[in-house]
Amino acid sequence: MVCLACGHSVHGEFCSHCGMRVPPGPSAPRAQLPRPRLEPRVPRHVHLLALLWCVFGAYRAVVAVLAALYLTGISSRWAFSPWGPIRVIPFLHYNPWLRTAAPFMAVITLLGAAASLTTGFSLLHRKPWGRNLALVVGILILIRVPVGTALGLYTLWVLAPALSAEEYDSLAKR
């Protein structure tokens, strides 16, 4: 017989090694538990990473449009109401340069949003060039504290190691 607690052979009612009482009858040796199979890191995280890039890109697009509308609105001297022209923001000085800068800032922000959305799309559809694009955009987005920094670090953590390149390439070939 075999002790169920320590696995040593038993010749009697009690184990001579640990002192545990062994029930009468045949006992089987302890079964070894199978080791858990580890799934590679990239397949576990690439879908979440792609969704985060898409959400971040949509957020940046909405912010770009709202910021352009806001800057264009505050750059006008007068707003027209049913009662006639009124000052938009009475305590704000008239800044005509904002009317010129607003579309430029909107275009720059929309380009960043397009890069984020393209990154998310390429990771969702496992495009072969998606990993490289995600790494480049992830490095560029690190300066946008705090959300961009977190997303950039997560992207680099998932996709930057050399083993991740092999895992992503195997996903892209499927």
pLDDT tens readout for residues 118-152 = 999 999 999 999 999 999 999 999 999 999 999 99
pLDDT band with cut points at 50, 70 and 90 for residue 63? very high
Q: Answer with the residue of higher pLDDT: 68 or 120.
A: 120
DSSP 80: E
Residues 77 and 100 in one domain: yes
Residues 82 and 103 in one domain: yes
**In a 3-state reduction of DSSP, which class is residue 71?**
helix
- The domain tally of the chain equals 2
Residues 47 and 20 in one domain: no
Residues 105 and 46 in one domain: yes
Beta strands in the chain (DSSP E): 78-81, 84-87
Residues 21 and 87 in one domain: no
Alpha-carbon distance values, 68 to 27, 86, 101, 114, 156 (Å): 77, 21, 9, 16, 31
- Measured on CA atoms in the order 164, 167, 173, 174, is the torsion positive or negative? negative
Residues 54 and 17 in one domain: no
Residues 87 and 62 in one domain: yes
Tokens coding 14: 């009690």
Residues 50 and 119 in one domain: yes
Residues 51 and 114 in one domain: yes
Residues 123 and 57 in one domain: yes
Mean pLDDT of 156-171: 92
> Contact at 8 Å (CB) between 110 and 61?
yes
> Contact at 8 Å (CB) between 2 and 11?
no
Tokens coding 34: 């199978």
* Degrees to nearest 5, angle at CA 62 with 56 and 66: 140
pTM: 0.70
Instruction: Look up the domain containing 114 and give its range.
Output: 41-173
Residues 28 and 101 in one domain: no
* Predicted pLDDT at 33: 63
Beta strands in 69-120 (DSSP E): 78-81, 84-87
Q: Angle 96-124/41-74 helices, nearest 10 degrees?
A: 160
Residues 27 and 46 in one domain: no
Nearest to 89 by CA among 79, 98, 100: 79
The answer for residues whose C-beta is within 8 angstroms of residue 96's C-beta and 6 or more apart is 75
